[in-house]
Amino acid sequence: MRRAWTALLSLLLIISVAAACSTGSNGGSTAPETTEPSNTGAVKNAPAPGEGKDITLKMSIWGDDNRKRMFEEVVKEFTDAHPGINVEVMLIPYQEYPQKISIMAASKTAPDVIWLYDAIIPQIRDANLLMDLSELADDPEYDLNDVYASSMDIYRGKDSGLYGIPFSAGPKVLFYNKKLFAEKGLKTPNELVKEGNWTYEEFLKTAKALTDPSQGVYGVKIAGGSNWKDAYTDTFWSFGADIFNEDATEFLLNSPESAQVLQMFDDMMFKDFTNPKPGDQISFESGKIGMFRGNYSYSASARKAEGLEFDIAPMPKGPVADAPFYDGVSGYSVMKDTEYPAEALELLKFFTSKEGMAKFQATFPPPRKSVLESEAFANMNDQPSAEGIKLAMSEPMSAGGRVIPTPENWQQINTKIQNLLDILYTQSATVEEVLERMDQEVAPLLK
Amino acid sequence: MLGPNTGQPTIGGRRTSKGRRKLLNREEKWYGYAFVMPMLLGYFFFLFGPIVASFAMSFTNWNLLDELKFIGLDNYRNAFFGDPVLLDTLSNTLYFTILFVPLNIMLTLGLALLMQASIPGMGFFRTAAFAPVVTSIVVWAIIWKYIFQTDNGLINAVLKTFGVTGPAWLYSMELAIPVVVVVSLLKSLGINMAIFLAALKDVPMMYYEAARIDGASRWRAFWHVTLPLISPSMFLVTMITIIGSMKVFGQIYIMTGGGPGTSTYVMVYYIYEQAFKYYEFGYGTAIAFILFVIILLLTLVQWYGRKRWIHFEQ
């Protein structure tokens, strides 16, 4: 009797485990499909009988849930206009983005339409994973000439194919706290730009005048972070220094000009105390930072900070007055081995068309001339002002920017340079010594 | 611990013929396999398989995007002879372990001794010491990163009110690892404390009484009664704490990102960086196996050394 019970019990256990496993795997694979109809409003747009079955395009973004919702709303316009196509927006955290994309590419599960940023574009572009989009030049309605050519450079492969379309590009800007400037009775950066006096001397003077240790106020926040490339590249270029030569075969940072730049930032942190020390997490949103260098898209966060009055300005002019700005590009590509190339291309065109970019202009600086220079873009919000957008965004974009040439093992070089800059940030060596070490340790990494 | 007899409780005591018992045993064996099969299959598919696959990967130069190529022992050769950062990483990891493990054991044992008393309100203190264990390491590390800020952090702000200018805690080559050790200690005290508390509860009171009658001081009673009797738990705690601190990652990744410079590069951070930042998956897995061998050796040394200091083993 007891034996029979044991047998029955173990049978039950095995069945239930097996059942759990199988429903588990089914559940996993069907989950996206069952959620899609609600996304796309399938009731309204049910495909006519005989039109073939629905397809699902996957498209990757980074960011947060708010951004995902924003994308899904825009995607809905696309799916409403294209019955039979569903679009799944995949949200991947920014920190994990490159890893996740490469793992998906390796396991052939990459999204059909893929959002990439400048630091990872060259590697994926040269791994022959992306579709050539050159034919878009022949589409008069799409008007590829409207897209700033300098922002497309990074998508040009060695075979001069075009492997993506920029969706968000433009200079990093200088946010400034209008209240702090008014309290000290200082001329704002934009006023100085119009006078033609927005130079690094003025910038340093302004930073000192804004700094007020008793209030915990710092004049500026640029130096000392964990992203030297975004923080320093513009200044290197305006002082006549450079990181690599054109084709990234030579390391050029060990120069008197870069020493001058690094010394300037070092003094801001450790001599004049106008810039928070490395390791400090104080943010511009706290209202305690006079000037802050950031992405244009940061203005969405700054607008949310209560009582913060800010505007944007271009970076000051250095000795090389016509230096290009450092263009931070991100954009869309189509995976070469997508099952639905035509539909994926259609989705890419939808997002990178004039209308598509205009839909996102509040968050992403549009790399299309017609959108960037439009009235709608300049007057979208109270902050930043139309004037700030003109001076910091539209005018530099028309002049053209430059992308840092990224060698194949850019990540190693990037980390190595950041690690060596830490020696400055811990005040363990002089600027010249650090640059000398960079020369010895970075140059061999360039193959 | 389970006794050796727990496998056959169903027929205990019933008188059966020898042959019947044999048959029963054989059948029960199959039931046993049936019961462990889901676990075993899961282990083989999801753990053992990937471990073997990643060992194979350590002989390749795979970077996910290109074709993979077998390069023999090159990764290991590079690790041992061509990578100064790996040596720094190894010594940082050992430094972390040497600071962390003794402090952790002394503090948790001390806390357990303090908290074994059953006085009102003790539950609150036990919960308070255990609460960080159930907190996410990411949240914990981010909060402490803010507390240890250079000029605007809580600690340096407090020091400032006493007229002391605090150091750049996380931006100093010398202080970064000790700071992370302190943060990790506060996070993980509870779990070892709980193990010690359970062990202390198991020490029979009669030994203490006998010691007291013999005129032993409280210190001698601790040294000669408590310590030997909790030595199996001590062994367990030492082993898992060493393994845990050789694998430290989360707090390093959040608080210092390996910096400043390479002063807080630890083994798992370096594996992460090689594999997921540089896409050197082959090299990353090679380092992971070096770490595996190091931990295995440390554990074997402890395992074979345990007879010298564990006085009481079930």
Q: What is the mean pLDDT of residues A103-127?
A: 88
For residue A13, the chain B residue with the least C-alpha distance is B35
Alpha-helix residue ranges (DSSP H) falling in A294-340: 299-304
Q: Is B213 within 8 Å of B292 (Cβ atoms)?
A: no
Fill in the DSSP letter of residue A95.
Answer: G
pLDDT on residue A7? 57
Q: Flag whether pLDDT at A63 surpasses 70.
A: yes
C-alpha A170/C-alpha A168 separation (Å) is 7
Q: How confident is the model at residue A29 (pLDDT cuts 50, 70, 90)?
A: very low
Q: Flag whether pLDDT at A34 surpasses 60.
A: no
User: CA gyration radius for chain A?
Assistant: 26
C-alpha B263/C-alpha B85 separation (Å) is 10
Q: How close does chain A come to B281, measured CA to CA in Å?
A: 11
Fill in the DSSP letter of residue A212.
Answer: B
Q: How close does chain A come to B243, measured CA to CA in Å?
A: 26
Distances (CA, A) of B24 to A10, A13, A412: 15, 20, 63
Is A278 in contact with B66 (Cβ distance < 8 A)? no
Which of B:103-162 have CB within 8 Å of A?
A: 145-146, 148-153
Percent residues over pLDDT 90 in chain B: 56
Q: How close does chain A come to B92, measured CA to CA in Å?
A: 16
Is A281 in contact with B145 (Cβ distance < 8 A)? yes
Q: Is A402 within 8 Å of A327 (Cβ atoms)?
A: yes
Residue with tokens 């001397």: A201
Chain B residues with CB inside 8 Å of A422's CB? 171, 259-261
Q: Is A392 within 8 Å of A175 (Cβ atoms)?
A: no
Q: Flag whether pLDDT at A349 surpasses 80.
A: yes
Chain A residues with CB inside 8 Å of B35's CB? 10, 13
Amino acid at position A388, single letter: G
Nearest to A279 among B27, B31, B168 (CB): B168
In this structure, of A126-135, A190-199, B2-11, the range with the lowest mean pLDDT score is B2-11
- Better-scored residue on pLDDT, A74 or A41: A74
At a CB cut-off of 8 Å and minimum separation 6, what does A376 contact? Answer: A358, A361
Token pair recorded at residue A45:
């747009």
For residue B168, the chain A residue with the least C-alpha distance is A279
Q: What is the mean pLDDT of residues B115-124?
A: 84
Nearest to B35 among A10, A124, A423 (CB): A10
Token pair recorded at residue B45:
């598919």
Taking only the tens place, the pLDDT of each residue in B34-75 is 899 999 999 999 999 999 999 999 999 887 777 788 998 999
Nearest to B260 among A10, A415, A422 (CB): A422
Residue A266: Cβ-neighbour burial (10 angstroms; 0-12, 13-18, 19+): buried
Q: Which of B31, B86, B155, B264 to mutate to test the interface with A (most CBs of A within 10 A)?
A: B31
C-alpha A56/C-alpha B158 separation (Å) is 57
Q: How confident is the model at residue A119 (pLDDT cuts 50, 70, 90)?
A: confident
Is B152 in contact with A124 (Cβ distance < 8 A)? no
C-alpha A75/C-alpha A90 separation (Å) is 12
B65 close to A (CB below 8 A): yes
Chain A residues with CB inside 8 Å of B168's CB? 277-279, 426
